[in-house]
Homo-oligomer: A and B are copies of this chain.
Amino acid sequence: MATIRDVARISGYSISTVSRVLNHKNYVSDEVRQSVQKVIDKLDYVPNDVARDLSRGKTMTIGVVMLDLLHPYYVDINVGIMSAAFEAGYTVMQLPSSYKNEQERSYLEQLRRKAFDGLIFTTHNIPVSEMLPYQKYGHIVVCHDPGDAPIDAAYSERGPSYEQAFNWIKSRHYQRIGLLLPRDPALSATSAETLTAYAQVFGAKPDRALTRYGTMTYADGYAAGEYYISNGLNPDFVFANGDDIATGLAQCYKDRGLRPPDLMGQDKQLSGQLLGIPTIDHHYHDVGAAALRLAIGASSGKHGVHSDFIAKR
């Protein structure tokens, strides 16, 4: 495999001249350029990207930490990240986390070791405070509202659409409202925002018995249905953390010959469209694109993306 040195030696010019020819810059006479180019072509030479990165001190790569590759949240945010990355000439590394703190820390270490120029946590388990000391090694971005923490962030501004959604529910006078949420509100910003909006609109906390945490998938929704039914809880409306989840709940009732409660989903998935239920579009594509721009330093600060409540489909 030919190196820049070979090209220099054979062409009779110096390494720097060859380098200049390669990078199309500075003063190189046409004559020399052509002569060098001829040798480059002849030797079938191409520069080594790793050597370049080392010399430049930059990899043009961004690491993206994600949890569940199958979840629509990640799929959508990834599309946004990728399109912005492509546009900016950056490459993206996928970094699986599984909520393992050790794993997340190792990615911070890799940032420090210059494996990539920036790091996006689409989700994370370690506290933001553990990330702060690593900011000197590259841009770190989280995908939720970081509050006062001094860290770049791109996230969907869920509060307003949640309030819209709950006002819509309230105006229809439902009495027993069930909530299917992701993780515990102490860990999940989504859960916390949902509860806040609920309290804001209804002036009270949701019924604890009708509230379920840890629902992420169709199967979880189905299981929630079994829980409601077997405990005779009879919610007349259920606000789910995703259209697929709402669909799972509905299916559970249908399979038992029961009429499901009225439903609302999130994430604007096909399943919810089929069911004809209201949903919330969190525009994760835009969140991803914003996150990438933060990660490459093209912007900075907090970047909230408004989500849309969609009553009719």
* Chain A residues near B (Cβ < 8 Å): 46-51, 53-54, 59, 61, 69-70, 75-76, 78-79, 82-83, 86, 91-96, 109-110, 112-115, 218, 244, 247, 251, 270-271, 274
Tell me the minimal C-beta distance from A172 to chain B in angstroms: 25
Tell me the minimal C-beta distance from A25 to chain B in angstroms: 19
The answer to whether residues A70 and B79 also contact, given A49-B110, A94-B92 and a CB cut-off of 8 A, is yes
Tell me the minimal C-beta distance from A110 to chain B in angstroms: 7
B96 engages A82 (CB within 8 Å): yes
5 pairs, A vs B, C-beta closer than 8 Å:
A46-B109, A49-B113, A91-B94, A91-B95, A271-B274
B114 engages A50 (CB within 8 Å): yes
Q: Chain B contacts of A78 at CB under 8 A?
A: 69, 94
Number of chain copies forming the complex: 2
B79 engages A75 (CB within 8 Å): no
B48 engages A50 (CB within 8 Å): no
Q: Chain B contacts of A96 at CB under 8 A?
A: 82-83, 86
Tell me the minimal C-beta distance from A252 to chain B in angstroms: 12
Tell me the minimal C-beta distance from A281 to chain B in angstroms: 15
B54 engages A50 (CB within 8 Å): yes
Partner of A75, one of B50, B75, B94, B270: B75
Partner of A115, one of B49, B82, B95, B270: B49
Question: In the docked arrangement, what's the CA distance between A109 and B49, Å?
Answer: 10
Question: In the docked arrangement, what's the CA distance between A244 and B94, Å?
Answer: 27
Tell me the minimal C-beta distance from A260 to chain B in angstroms: 13
CB-based closest 8 A-B pairs: A49-B115, A49-B113, A50-B54, A69-B79, A50-B53, A92-B94, A48-B114, A46-B113
A49 engages B79 (CB within 8 Å): no
Q: Chain B contacts of A49 at CB under 8 A?
A: 110, 113-115
Question: In the docked arrangement, what's the CA distance between A47 and B96, Å?
Answer: 22
B46 engages A50 (CB within 8 Å): no
Tell me the minimal C-beta distance from A272 to chain B in angstroms: 11
Q: Chain B contacts of A70 at CB under 8 A?
A: 75-76, 79
A115 engages B271 (CB within 8 Å): no
Partner of A113, one of B47, B79, B93: B47
> A49, A50, A75: which has the most chain B beta carbons within 10 Å?
A50
Chain B residue at smallest Cβ distance from A251: B274
Q: Chain B contacts of A46 at CB under 8 A?
A: 109, 112-113
Question: In the docked arrangement, what's the CA distance between A241 and B93, Å?
Answer: 30
B50 engages A69 (CB within 8 Å): no
Q: Chain B contacts of A112 at CB under 8 A?
A: 46
Q: Chain B contacts of A86 at CB under 8 A?
A: 96
Question: In the docked arrangement, what's the CA distance between A274 and B7, Å?
Answer: 63
